Amino acid sequence: MTQDLLTKISAMNGKLSKGQRLIAHYIVNHYERAAFMTAQKLGAAVGVSESTVVRFAYEIGFDGYPRLQRALQELIRNRLTSAQRMEVTSDQIGESNILQKVLSLDIERIRRTAESVNPESFSAAVDAILDAQEIYILGIRSSASLANFLYFYFNHIFKNLRLVSASSASEVFEQIYHMGKGDVFIPITFPRYSRRSIKATEFAKSTGAHVIGITDSDHSPIAPYCDNLLCARSDMVSFVDSLVAPLSLINALIVAVGMRKRGEIFKTYQDLENIWEEYDVYEKPQPTAQ
């Protein structure tokens, strides 16, 4: 698949009808746009009918047009620059009803994550986290938000926790310099993968730390350095990387870890409740007379 798909389409040229050849030509030259077009739009773009496009998909070996489209989307995962993403946006999302479309796409991403996530990796990750001497969490670029969220809750559960974060003062590598065997490193990275995250994960593995990667697939560049992989669908919405499914996965990780440390957390939260009250952190619920 993938690259081969384009080669294959080119190679089949001789066997295709004239209309199908137009489709093939368009796909090979504009696959980054074709990947987000419906059969109807693709047909319109090259001047053939929707059904010609659908037959074309079967002709070249796919079980329907949606499968062909999915294959094209896989092909360009992580290959588009942000500027190219802007270009394909109108094909994918359009300008009307953006809100409903984005929410639907995000639901679909969580659903596909639920289908594909590996429960054994998830359990093994929970065990490793509970056994860790020191836990390091890393998220760069848009994944920094996910890392902050995970850190926020883990900080209520664990003493031995560090959020590795780039700052004006400090480089990522200086913060993981002391890492070693017995520690757990949790890198969070999604396409377009941050280069520093990959380098840091490679380094972490070399220190003997247990690495739990939260990423998008087995093909992620951090995969070779991970002891456990937790994968969530992050496909882009237009120029935005949707991190909704990864966030849902992280929710599950926090809950699963929390359930295992229930007793301690219960105690911690009773103490924190007093601190929060003293510092007026949260709004007090109103006498409910709504």
Residues 245-274 that bind a copy of itself (CB under 8 A): 247-249, 251-252, 254-256, 258-259, 262, 265-266, 268-273
**Whether the Cβ atoms of residue 70 and residue 23 lie closer than 8 Å to each other:** no
State the CB neighbour count (10 A cutoff) for residue 181. 9
User: Given the complex with a copy of itself, which of 61 and 272 has the nearer CB atom?
Assistant: 272
Q: Does 223 bind a copy of itself (CB under 8 A)?
A: no
Closest separation between CB of residue 88 and a copy of itself, Å? 12
Picking from 47, 41, 38, 58, the residue whose alpha carbon sits closest to that of residue 18 is 47
Residue 162 three-state SS:
strand
Instruction: Work out how close the CB of 268 gets to a copy of itself at its nearest, in angstroms, rounded to a whole number.
Output: 7
Q: Which of residues 123-152 bind a copy of itself (CB under 8 A)?
A: 139-142, 144-149, 151-152
Nearer to a copy of itself, 47 or 94 (CB): 94
Residue 27 binds a copy of itself (CB under 8 A): no
Bond before 112 cis per omega within 30 degrees: no
Q: Does 181 bind a copy of itself (CB under 8 A)?
A: no
Report the alpha-carbon distance of residue 46 to residue 51 in Å, rounded: 13
Helix axes 18-34, 65-76, angle to 10 degrees: 40
Reading the block at residue 88, the tokens are 């394909």
Please report whether residue 242 would count as binding a copy of itself according to CB under 8 A. Answer: yes
Query: Is 93 among the residues that bind a copy of itself (CB under 8 A)?
Result: yes
**Selected range binding a copy of itself among 11-19, 50-58, 98-106, 206-214, rule: CB under 8 A:** 98-106
Name which of 146, 98, 154 is nearest 247 in CA terms. Answer: 146
CA pair distance 72, 5, nearest whole angstrom: 8
Query: Any contact of residue 40 with a copy of itself (CB under 8 A)?
Result: no
Let me know: does 68 contact 57? Beta carbons within 8 Å: yes
Q: Decide: is 30 part of the binding site for a copy of itself (CB under 8 A).
A: no
From the CB of residue 121, how many other CB atoms can be counted at a distance below 10 Å? Answer: 17
Applying CB under 8 A, among 58, 195, 208, 224 the residue interacting with a copy of itself is: 195
Identify which of residues 30 and 101 has a Cβ nearer to a copy of itself in the complex. 101
What is the residue whose two structure tokens read 């938000």? 145
Which range in 12-20, 59-67, 112-120, 206-214 contacts a copy of itself by CB under 8 A?
112-120
Among 89, 201, 215, 228, binds a copy of itself (CB under 8 A): 89
